[in-house]
Amino acid sequence: MIKNTFSHSANSLNTFAPRLLTWFNENGRHDLPWQQHQTDTPNPYIVWLSEVMLQQTQVTTVLPYFARFMASFPTVQDLAVAEWDTVAEHWAGLGYYARARNLHKGAKQLVEVIDESGDFPQTLAGWEAIAGVGPSTAGAIMSMGLHRYGVICDGNVKRVLTRWAAIDGDITKSATTKELWALAERLTPKEQSGLFAQAMMDMGATLCTRSKPACLLCPLQDDCFAHAQGRETDYPVKAKKQPKPSKFSDALLIKNIEGEMLWLQRPDNGIWGGLWSLPLQFIKKIDDKATAKPTHTITEKLLEVASNEKVYETEFTTAEQIINEWLNKKKLITETVSKTLLNDAPIKHSLTHFHWYLTPQSVTLDNEQVQEITQALQAAEININWLNADDAQATLGLPRAMVKILE
C-alpha cells in the first residue's frame, strides 16, 4: 500500500461542505420517511428509530420495517409499553437482534427522561446514555432529529473520507478512527449539520459505493486523492477478516398429533435473544479428508462440535438440554453423526461470527409425551408454545433462519 503524504488545502477543506450540500440539494434523496430536514419541528424519535435500524442494514431493507414500527409504535411511549414479543415480531428478519433489545430498553429509558425533564435528551452525552446509541448515532440524532450541531462518522462517512483524504490506516484501529473523527468534525458545518449528515450518508450510499464508485458524478472528485491516484477501491483499508468457522445443528420439529410444533423463547443473552426458535441439537460431524499417502485412503476426523467449542456451551440453552436428554431417554431421536460435512445440511444461515448449517429433523409425539415434555419445560420456567407453521410466523418473533426451515 502506498503511504499517503498528501494533505488538502484550506480551500479544499472549506469548500467541502458547500459542494456536498449543493449536490445533495439537487441529487440527494429527500423522500425517506425518517428525514427531518424539511420540517421546522423535527422528531428525534423517528431519527433514533431509523438510525438503529440502518446500522449494518440497507435503506431498501429497512423501509418496510420502519413503516410497520411507526404504524404500531407511533411514539416512543408506545414502544416503551409494548410487550417484548410484539417488538420482536416486528423486528423478526431484520437481523442483528441485539439492536431490537437495545431499542426496547432505550425506549423505556427515553420515557424516563421525558417524564423527568419534559423532553427528549438535548445533549450528545444524554443520547449516548441510551442503550445502543454510540457517538455517530448520537450525532445523527442531534443534527437531524433536533436540528442542533452534531457530527456523524458511520461506515458511509468513513468510506467517503478515507478516499477523499487517502487515509491509509486500518479503519478498525483506534488511531485511524480518531483521525477520521477529527476530519469529520473539521468538515461538518456549524449550521446545517443535519443536512450535511444526510448528504454524507447519501454520498456513501449512492455515489461513493464500495465496489463501483460513480466518481464522474461526484462533487468532490477534483480534490479526491484516491480518485487522482486511480485507487478508489483501495479504500477504506481494513484488516483482512479470518474465514468464518462453520457450525452444525439439527433443528428439531417436535410435533404433536395435530401437527403443531414446539417453540422455545430463547434467553435474552446470546444468539436470537428473546426470539422464538425450534429446539436445536448440536451435532457431531465427520470431516472426510484424503491423506497424502499413495494409497489415497480416507481418514475420518470426528469433530466434537457439541462438547469442545465455547460458542456451543453458551448457546446450548437449558431448554434444549432438557429436550435433548428427554429425547435420548425416550429413544425418540439419536445423536447424529454425519458422514458428509455439508450435503445433509440444506439450510445455511450466516451470522456475524460463523456460518450455521441447520438440518431439520422431525419427530411426532403422542398426547402423553407432549404433556410430559411440556411439564418438564414449564417446571424449569421456560416459555414455550405449540403452534403450526402459519400461526408461528404470524404471532411469534422468529429469526430468519427459522423462517427458512418452515419454508
Contact indicator for 232, 215 with CB cutoff of 8 Å: yes
Look up residue 94 and give its three cell numbers.
431484520
Nearest 5 degrees, angle CA 127-CA 129-CA 130?
70
Is 51 an annotated catalytic residue?
yes
Question: Do 171 and 177 form a contact (C-beta atoms < 8 A)?
Answer: yes
Taking alpha carbons only, the member of 43, 52, 35 closest to residue 104 is 52
Strand-pair partners of 255: 261, 364
Per annotation, catalytic residue among 51, 89, 232, 320: 51
Taking alpha carbons only, the member of 201, 159, 204, 149 closest to residue 180 is: 159
The answer to whether 36 touches 43, Cβ cutoff 8 Å, is: yes
- Which three-class secondary structure state does DSSP give residue 384? strand
Please, where are the H alpha helices in 146-192? 155-164, 174-187
Q: Which residues contact 403 (CB under 8 A, 6 or more apart)?
A: 92, 93, 393
Active site amino acids: 51
